[in-house]
Amino acid sequence: MLEKRNFYINGSWVTPKKPNDIEVINPATEKACAVISLGSKDDVNHAVISAKEAFKTWGYSTKEERIALLETFYTLYKKRWSDITDAIIQEMGAPKDFASKLQTGTGASHTKSFIRYLKEFEFEKPLGEHAKNQRLIYEPKGVCALITPWNWPINQVTLKVIPALASGCTMILKPSELAPLSAMILAELIDETKFPKGVFNLVNGDGAITGDALTSHPDVNMISFTGSTRAGALISQNAAKDFKRVSLELGGKGANIIFKDADSEAIERGALRCFRNSGQSCNAPTRMLVEKSMYDEAIERLKKYTNEFKVDDPKKRG
Catalytic hit among 53, 249, 268, 291: 249
Q: Is 282 a catalytic residue?
A: yes
Q: Output the pTM of the full model.
A: 0.93
pLDDT of residue 318: 52
Contact between 226 and 173 (Cβ < 8 Å): no
Residue from 26, 32, 28, 152 nearest 99 by CA: 152
pLDDT of residue 317: 64
- Measured distance CA(73)–CA(63) in Å, rounded: 15
Instruction: List the CATH code of the domain at 2-121+138-250.
Output: 3.40.605.10
pLDDT of residue 83: 98
Delimit the domains of the chain by residue range. Answer: 2-121+138-250, 255-308
pLDDT of residue 116: 98
Catalytic hit among 282, 291, 300, 308: 282
3-32 per-position pLDDT tens digit: 999 999 999 999 999 999 999 999 999 999
- Cα distances (angstroms) measured from residue 208 to each of 221, 231, 274: 20, 9, 30
pLDDT of residue 278: 80
Residue from 149, 158, 172, 164 nearest 277 by CA: 149
Q: How far apart are the first and last CA of the chain?
A: 25
pLDDT of residue 310: 87
- Measured distance CA(42)–CA(99) in Å, rounded: 35
Output DSSP code: residue 294.
G
For the chain, which ranges sit under pLDDT 50? none
Long-range interactions of 77-81: CB distance < 8 A, separation 24+:
77/107, 77/108, 77/111, 77/186, 77/189, 78/108, 80/185, 80/188, 80/189, 81/108
